[in-house]
Structures are given as structure tokens and as C-alpha cells.
A and B are shown apart, each in its own frame.
Chain A
Amino acid sequence: MNKSTMAGFIYILIPAFFVYFYTESILRQVAVCQIRPETVNVSSIMSQLPGSIRESINRKVTIGQLKDAIARAMGQSERIFALCNYAEYSNIPEEKEKIFKDIIDKYPSSKEASRAFVFFLLNPETKHKVSIQEYHAYIKKFSQFDQYYMWVVGLSKIRELKLEADIQFQYLAPLLDMKPEYRDFSRLFDYISELAVKLKKDDAYDKAKQLETASFSCPYIDKIIEAQLKKEEAAAEKEQDTKSSGSK
């Protein structure tokens, strides 16, 4: 093949490759836009894979999504929430412990860190531990509104560890010095009274029953949240109405 023919082929190939890459990028974007990646349910695709590899791929994808959520997190609370999600999903104990420990060290006063505190609460399998007193000190930083969830998850953890009734009582004891603001606390007072019967603590039983009765006159947390949401929705609707009437 002579040089001029070869040069001719090169003159054809260079623009052909240029057009190929350029048009391919346009068509690729059209294709990707049409599938709307954010709406594709990855698990539905995974379900079509053979069972033997589905689990491991599914796990990798979920971990990838959780890591992406950490990277995309806007603000401290969202970041802590994403970190906790990732740590809970991780099956590497050292990694899980390290992430939760970092959360406790960096954000000791954030309510989103409660899952990290609960993870270490009297945990016999971790090097770092959170004592009942330390957990109480953490909980007391927040309002009763936020505290309720923390008390409940802490109690669940202690019950999950199948700890003795006296430890459970020790954990819930500070509630006896608290004036309940929400009806939800009645369940905890009821449980304290059950423990008090077991441990033959008559004074504690009376106090718990009194507080339980007192909490009956308080509103439920759910109702307050519901009312808040309704208020926000109404405000949003009003704002939209104002905007639409303004544009008219």
C-alpha cells in the first residue's frame, strides 16, 4: 500500500473518530437522561441476578450507596445520620467500632449521635464502652421531646443484652426525678413499676405509678409532630396561594 493511500485512510479516520466520540457522548447522555438513574431501583435489577452472586453484589451496591450518602451529606446532622447508617450496615467489627467512636468523639452533643452511644452502651464486645452514667449525661443535654427516643433505644439495648433487672432499674432510675411532659413516658414509668415490684422497691413503685398517672394528662409526641406538620403544610399552601395571586 503506497503512502498516499495510507494518508488518505488517515485523513478519513481522524474525522471519523472525532465524530464517533462526539456523537457517542451526545447519544450516551440522551440514554442516561431517559433512564433517570435516580429512579432506578437497583435492588430490582439485583433480583434478576443468580442467587449465588446476588447477595455479595447487593451488599457492595448498598455499601456504595451508603458511602455516597456520606459524601453527599449536607450539614452535620445529615452526615452523622449517614455515618451511623453506614456503620450499622458494615459487617467489619473494627470499622463499625471506629466510625461510632469517631462520632462520639467529634459530635458528643449531637442528638443524631445517639445511635453511636447506644452501640457502645454496656457493649461487652467492644473495646470502648459507654457506661449508664455516661449515657445519662449525654441524654440530659436534650429536651424531653428528643430524650424519649434515647431512653427507649437505650432500654432496648439493655434488654437485648439480657442484663439483670437491677441494671435495668439503674438505667431508668433518673426518670423518677423527672416531671413528664409527654404521655409516651407512661410506658417507661409502667416498666419501672414492674421492675420495682421485682426488686421489692415500694417507694420507687409508688413514684413510678404517680408519674405514670401524671403523664396521662400530657400530649403524645406523635400528635405534636402531626400538628407541626399540618401547620407547616398550611403555611406552605398559604405561601403558594400568595405567590399565585401575586403572579396573576
Chain B
Amino acid sequence: MSNDWVTRQTLLQRAKNPDDHQAWDEFISYYENFIQVLIYKMNYTGQDTDDLTQVILVNLWKNLANYDKEKASFRNWMGAVIRNTTYNYYRKQSNIAKREKEGMADFLESMPESDLDELIEREWKTYISELALKKMRELFSGKAVEVFELSLKGISSEEISERVDLKKDSVYVLKNRVKKKFMEEVRALVAELEY
């Protein structure tokens, strides 16, 4: 078991290998949704969202081999790949359906690179957190996750204890239990999905 853990490669390490199809499938499952959300956030209104997503995924896949941890953080690197791929894709497509893409052109041109990077990073974090939260729903039963989610919305423990009809002590305990596990999960996902 511990040996497995030691020799185990992260998804991205495995994804570097072009012949590892299972890794590719996993890569797709994790990143596809994120990229689609991102495209939506970038006001891309084209009919071929799926196409763009595929192009970005393939670009990420191809460039993984060239990623150098020393030069940039994974999130910044990923942001750059997504941004550039989207620009290029947009330029290629602009002649064909310029009007359609007007919304996105405005968005991309009006936004500085740093802001875009920030957006991507923010979405990435949110995406990972949601994944972790989903896992929490599987892990915990009863009111634990409900308490945790209510606390995320900034609701006071007193109010939570009233809403879910639990003692205040229990609210603290449940909240902290889920929170602890949640943070562990976040760290695990980051370790897996970031290089």
C-alpha cells in the first residue's frame, strides 16, 4: 500500500506519456468541465464550444511535456495555454463568423492579461473546491455537509444551529470535521491535478 503510494505518479505525470490512454481519459474528465466553464465565463458565444474545448485540451496535453515548474506555477502556465489557444482559435474563426464572435472579441480585447489569468485562477480554485465539496457529500451523511455549506455562506453558528436543529456544540464539531476533511481533499486534488 505504502509502496503504491510512493511509486504512484500524479495524473499529470502520467498524462505526459502519449501512450497512456487511461491517463488521457482521466485528464479529459477532470479538465473538460473546467474548460467549458471557463469558455462560458469568457463570453464565448460560438456554436462550437465543444470544438474549442477539445482544442484547448489537446494543446494542454501536448504542452504538458514542456511545462517547467521552475518557470511558472501550474495555474499560471495553464492560464497561459488556455488564453493563447483561445486567442488563436478565435482569430482563425473570426473571419468566418466575425459577428458571432463579437461578444468574445470585446471581452478578450478589453481585458488585460493579468486579469484573465486571475479569472482563470479563480475559476480553477472554485472548480477544485466544488470537486472537493462533491466528494464531501459522498463522504459525510446527515447534516454535516449542510452545516458546512451554510457556514460557507457566512451564516453564524447560532443561526445554523437553529436552522438545522442541532446543538451549538454539535454545529462546531460537524463544521470543523467537514472543514478538515474538505481541506485535505483540496490538497489532494491540487497535488493530483496541478503539476
Q: Do A and B come from the same complex? A: no
Interface residues of B (CB under 8 A from A): none
